[in-house]
Amino acid sequence: MTVYSVDVVITAPVNDTEVTARVGDAITNLFPEADPTHREGELRAEVHTMDGFSAELHRAEILDTARSVFFDTLAGERFTFDLKKQAAFEGRVNFAVGEPAELGDIHVEVTVRDPDAEAYIDYVAPPTEDGKPVDTE
């Protein structure tokens, strides 16, 4: 089994009309390892795994979508993506594309230290065949 060294920084704006705890729940629903802290109008969390998020991608059967989003933003050892807060609050992954939502989106920045970003993407969202994950090992 490969050991991955990753830093995942999750940020989400908290607007005056929002309940901070609900935004925190949106983060921890998709990143159960996260412990968001509130400061200056946003929640921020740093985790070193995306296992909980990966499990949700598998459950929702959106691995191909996730791979596409990850590879579209891949630059060196870093990739980023945005998630819709309301869907996350409901425990669902919904990638935010285009214009940000009125209340802002959850922004995730992933830096892979070891082994490399492509291998980590394959781990989090493996390639699929007929919608089922293909073992790349």
Q: Tell me the CATH number at 95.
A: 3.30.1440.10
* Whole-number percent of the chain with pLDDT over 70: 97
Range of the domain at 25: 5-126
Q: Is residue 11 part of a domain?
A: yes
Strands 5-13 and 106-114: antiparallel
- pLDDT band, very low/low/confident/very high, at 131 (cuts 50, 70, 90): confident
What pTM, to 2 d.p., does this model score?
Answer: 0.93
Q: What angle do CA 7, 16, 101 make, to 5 degrees?
A: 60
Q: Is residue 136 part of a domain?
A: no
User: Which region among 17-31, 32-46, 79-93, 119-133 has the lowest average model confidence (pLDDT)?
Assistant: 119-133
Rounded distance between C-alpha atoms, residue 106 and residue 109, angstroms: 10
Mean pLDDT on 5-10: 97
**Is the predicted pLDDT of residue 136 greater than 80, yes or no?**
no
Beta bridge partners of 13: 42
Beta bridge partners of 83: 95, 106
Rounded distance between C-alpha atoms, residue 126 and residue 137, angstroms: 10
CA proximity to 107, closest of 13, 29, 24, 36: 13
The domain total for the chain is: 1
Rounded distance between C-alpha atoms, residue 44 and residue 60, angstroms: 25
Q: Is residue 134 part of a domain?
A: no
Q: Is residue 87 part of a domain?
A: yes
Beta bridge partners of 5: 114
DSSP 8-state class, residue 136:
-
- pLDDT band, very low/low/confident/very high, at 105 (cuts 50, 70, 90): very high
